[in-house]
A and B are shown apart, each in its own frame.
Chain A
Amino acid sequence: MLLQADAAWEKRLRVGSYGTVAVEDGRVRLWYQVSGRENPPGKNPGFMGVAYAESADGIHFRKPILGLVEFEGSRQINLVLPADPRLLSIGGGSVWRDDNPACPPQERYKSWQKVYPEPGTGIFGPHRIRVSRDGLHWQLPEKRVAGLRAADTQPAWFRDPRLGRYVRYSREWVQFEGEGKIRMASCNESADIHDWQGMFISLQPTSGTSRPRSGRNWMRPA
């Protein structure tokens, strides 16, 4: 077991499915999803966010006290997203370092997320990109993203030097043979991470091997 929800502030949370690992300057950096232990059927946990840990060997991780986010009355924690858990949760918070030489330093790290705002907050989603200078202090870019697809399962994205463009992959609900819905993988591209164009399904099961029954969603709730 590499990581557990064993910090005092995590006592009502669990480590979620999604995480990002990066090796930088001799340290292993880990961004991991935390979510509430209570998960009513068909609903998301009451809280979801992204926390941060570091390691020298990739096996033993420590959770630094960052003081960036207040959660249940304390800032002596290692939570980095969302900035205010009273207002929203964040799912599938994929963190990625953009090594494009043209990338502004204040946008070196990027996180593609699904936003779950609390009712009445006026926060809009569902899918947003946040940027950061250091992977810890995050902010929304001024330009609103367009054409970005779902991020509630962990998406993948990178800048493709062959294309000179950003490329992303994520899950897509697709009507299948006119009856059921299943998940497939979609892809599209962007010149600047803000405007995404040309979405297409990149991975899919063949019709000959799949036959959903009418009116049923064959995937168990995430």
Chain B
Amino acid sequence: MRVQGEVWVPAEQKEPTAGDREAAPDQDQAPMPGAPVDIYGPEVFPYTEADGVYVALLSAFHNWERRDGGS
């Protein structure tokens, strides 16, 4: 993901291993390699301790698919 030109999330996502799936509470779901990320509720505000600095505390929703092919 790029934010104002800066890469802040690794471009590649790792396919979960069997161990990952066992540890995951939602074992019927898996992250989708290369799936898009939704940006949701972008909380942006000026950082008052420095001039010209803004902070964004946004939610990034990673998209998952069900292992049975559903959504």
Query: Nearest Cβ distance between residue A161 and chain B, in whole angstroms?
Result: 8
Query: Nearest Cβ distance between residue B11 and chain A, in whole angstroms?
Result: 5
Query: B46 near A160 (CB under 8 angstroms)?
Result: yes
Q: Is A211 an interface residue (CB 8 A)?
A: yes
Query: Nearest Cβ distance between residue A188 and chain B, in whole angstroms?
Result: 12
Q: How many residues of B contact A (CB 8 A)?
A: 28
Q: Is A169 an interface residue (CB 8 A)?
A: yes
Chain B residue with Cβ nearest A168:
B44
Query: B1 near A206 (CB under 8 angstroms)?
Result: yes
Query: B56 near A183 (CB under 8 angstroms)?
Result: no
Query: Nearest Cβ distance between residue A65 and chain B, in whole angstroms?
Result: 31
- Secondary structure dominating the interface of B: strand
Chain B residue contacts of A53, Cβ below 8 A = none
Q: Is A5 an interface residue (CB 8 A)?
A: no
Query: A171 near B46 (CB under 8 angstroms)?
Result: no
Chain B residue contacts of A209, Cβ below 8 A = 1, 9, 11-12, 34, 36-37
A202 and B37 alpha carbons, distance in the complex (Å): 15
Query: A156 near B42 (CB under 8 angstroms)?
Result: yes
Q: Is A83 an interface residue (CB 8 A)?
A: no
1/0 contact trace for A193-222 toward B, CB 8 Å? 000000000111110111110001011100
Query: B1 near A205 (CB under 8 angstroms)?
Result: yes
Q: How many residues of A contact B (CB 8 A)?
A: 35
Query: B38 near A218 (CB under 8 angstroms)?
Result: yes
Q: Which of A154, A204, A208 makes the CB contact (< 8 A) with B39?
A: A204
Query: Nearest Cβ distance between residue B17 and chain A, in whole angstroms?
Result: 21
Query: A170 near B61 (CB under 8 angstroms)?
Result: no
Q: Is B41 an interface residue (CB 8 A)?
A: yes
1/0 contact trace for B1-44 toward A, CB 8 Å? 11110010101100000000000000000000011111111111
Query: Nearest Cβ distance between residue A96 and chain B, in whole angstroms?
Result: 10
Q: Tell me the B residues contacting A by CB distance below 8 Å.
A: 1-4, 7, 9, 11-12, 34-46, 51-52, 56, 58, 61, 63, 71
Q: Tell me the A residues contacting B by CB distance below 8 Å.
A: 17-18, 153-156, 158, 160-162, 167, 169-171, 176, 180, 182-185, 187, 202-206, 208-212, 216, 218-220
Not counting A162-B51, A203-B4, A204-B2, a sample of 6 additional A-B residue pairs whose C-beta atoms are within 8 angstroms of each other reads A153-B40, A153-B41, A156-B45, A176-B36, A187-B44, A210-B36
Minimum-distance CB pairs A-B, first 9:
A210-B36, A185-B42, A183-B38, A218-B63, A169-B44, A153-B41, A206-B2, A169-B42, A182-B36
